[in-house]
Amino acid sequence: MSLFPLESNPEVMTKFLHKLGVSDNWNLVDVFSLENDALDWIPRPAVAFILLFPCSDKFYEHAAQQKSEIEQQEQVIVPDLYYMKQYVSNACGTIALIHAVANNEERIDLKDGIFKKILDESKGLSPEERGKLLLELPKNPHIMDMITAHQELALEGQTELNPDEKVNHHFVAFIEKGGYLYELDGRKEFPINHGKTTSDTFVQDVAKVCKEFIARDSEDVNFTVMALTAADN
């Protein structure tokens, strides 16, 4: 199963969030620079970052090394962290948004909509079981509604879509949970704990990790960063 890829477009992805039940008090904004003076312009509170990056050989090499190191040293995973695996091609944008919303449900005004129903149904499931929910289109009307919204919003992007073209970029989410900064990538074996953070230092701490992604592929300019923030009404 494969979906149309979502474009890294804050207007399109914000529309997707609102369509699925996130309050209009929250939206996605572009992060144009990861330098400290530019980060000050990001509306607060900012509760999640979404990074789009190229899937290069350097990325896969680093991910394999990172996995090996974590398996040897272990890491802290707080029990209420919401994480799901990705089994559907080109669903990384939707999964990144799920990760961003699910791990901030107590802060975001989530209406009685598609997101809330899916989160309620999946809270007691394992990451693997959550990921397989997206394969249950005929069985689960809420998943069908979410996938339909994904496809509709993917077509609203500015990039011409070719369903047969291989996608070489990937979305991941960064959130704070239990005093730790987590990278949530449904294609990895587990969440990645990037160390301690607070609501006050979250933006600066995420920016450092995003800079590390960019530094590993410094020849490639195809990186974009968005933040999930309170709307500037």
pLDDT tens digit string along 127-149?
Answer: 999 999 888 766 778 888 888 88
Question: What pLDDT is stored for residue 150 in this prediction?
Answer: 86
Cβ pair 220, 56 in contact under 8 A: yes
* Torsion, CA 64, CA 70, CA 75, CA 77, rounded to 10: 30
Cβ pair 134, 148 in contact under 8 A: no
Q: Is 170 a catalytic residue?
A: yes
Q: Which residues contact 220 (CB under 8 A, 6 or more apart)?
A: 54, 56
Q: What is the pTM for the complete model shown?
A: 0.93
Catalytic residue among 99, 142, 150, 170: 170
Catalytic residue among 92, 99, 142, 150: 92
Rounded to an integer, the average pLDDT of 47-71 is: 94
Rounded to an integer, the average pLDDT of 15-30 is: 94
Q: Is 55 a catalytic residue?
A: no
At 205-229, the pLDDT tens digits run: 999 999 999 999 988 878 999 999 9
> Helix 92-102 crosses helix 114-122 at what angle (to 10 degrees)?
80
Question: What pLDDT is stored for residue 7 in this prediction?
Answer: 84
Average model confidence (pLDDT) across the chain = 90
If pLDDT is split at 50, 70 and 90, which confidence band does 160 have?
low
Chain mean position to CA 57: 21
Cβ pair 187, 86 in contact under 8 A: yes
Q: How many CA atoms lie within 13 A of 113 on its CB side?
A: 16
> Percent of the chain having pLDDT more than 70?
94
